Amino acid sequence: MLNIALYNNKINYIRSDRNRKGLSIISCGANQYDSLDTAINKSAVDIFNKDKIKSEKISYTIDSQFCVFNNIFCENENSLDFHNDLSGNGVLSNHMDSYYYPIGLRDDHYLGIHIDKSIKQRLQNATKNINSSFSSFSIGIFSAEILARYIFQAKGLDDYLILRFINSNLIE
């Protein structure tokens, strides 16, 4: 499995293999590119060439800076489409994928995550060009939760906390 994290025009990557004995790290590193487009189009190719990989499942993580977040109060999940139309998000659906997740203790509170469709499509196209499979697509802090469940078996714990510190002194 090749995991590539995309931030601005920089990528970090880690290749791993999970077997009965545990998780093995095969290689890791970081690459800097001239632009976001170049990072999207060349990162997997460069890693494949460097590590002499023929085929690999690829999981991409994009930084939360590439997303727009909002929270809404909505009586039921079926009304989320109606809310999108009222707020003008219906027109944006041509350019953005929107996902809503319940948050908090109340049943009517949702976190909205909106992602530029072109980024995901370009990553999928770059993966097809190197004859590999697009395994998963995640966003910044949420990818840490997936990793915690996968490696540390956090899904078996009653409570756990994922915290991310960003270079600009922000915390997610």
- pLDDT tens profile 103-119: 777 777 878 888 888 89
Give the pLDDT of residue 147: 57
* SS3 call for 89: helix
In the chain, % of residues over pLDDT 70: 71
Burial of 88 (0-12, 13-18, 19+ CB in 10 A): exposed
Give Rg (Cα) of the chain.
18
pLDDT of 90 higher than 70: no
Question: Between residues 60 and 92, which one has the greater pLDDT?
Answer: 60
Taking all residues of the chain, what is their mean pLDDT, rounded to a whole number?
Answer: 77
Give the amino acid at 95. Answer: H
Task: Residue count of the chain, please give it.
Answer: 172
Burial of 79 (0-12, 13-18, 19+ CB in 10 A): middle
Residue the block writes with tokens 């995991």: 3
- b/e burial code for range 130-162 (CB count within 10 A of at least 16 → b): bebebeebbbbbbbeebbbeeeeebeeeeeeee
Give the pLDDT of residue 172: 46
pTM metric for this prediction? 0.71
